Amino acid sequence: MAVTPLTSLAEFEVAISQDKPVVVGFCATWAPRCRVIGPAFVRLSELPEYAGTVDFRSVDIDEAFEIAQKAGVGPVPVFMAFLNGTKLAEVVAPHPQALGEWVGQACAGSG
């Protein structure tokens, strides 16, 4: 599975309302840390253990400001996990290797 971009508030609201965990990465093309963590986020989305059980989405905060505002995004990169419209967890600017651990913990027991 790949990371699917969200471009409208309606898409975001539908995506986070799923009955399986949804991990949303909020980034900006101008942010160096986003360029570093982006490939790690894509690799996570392709791991077999998340196939069909976790949905990976992305938001470019400059192109989809309304989504970022609704989610309460401050510094980027920030990753949020949702289930049934409720935020489960959030992590700001993780190291690429720590992101995988965070996704596992954020989504544990929610399936």
- Cβ contact 43:63 at 8 Å: no
**Residue 52 domain-assigned?**
yes
Number of domains in the chain: 1
pLDDT tens column, 57-98: 999 999 999 999 999 999 999 999 999 999 999 999 888 889
Q: How confident is the model at residue 36 (pLDDT cuts 50, 70, 90)?
A: very high
What CATH number corresponds to the domain at position 99?
3.40.30.10
Structure tokens at 67: 């989504």
**Residue 24 domain-assigned?**
yes
The confidence score (pLDDT) of residue 23 equals 97
**Residue 111 domain-assigned?**
no
**Residue 110 domain-assigned?**
no
**Residue 85 domain-assigned?**
yes
The domain in which residue 15 lies consists of 4-105
The confidence score (pLDDT) of residue 111 equals 47
SS3 of residue 89 by DSSP: strand
**Residue 82 domain-assigned?**
yes
CB burial class (10 A; 0-12, 13-18, 19+) of residue 8?
exposed
Outline where 17-91 has alpha helix (H): 32-45, 65-71
**Residue 70 domain-assigned?**
yes
Is the model's pTM score more than 0.75?
A: yes
**Residue 47 domain-assigned?**
yes
Average pLDDT, the chain: 93
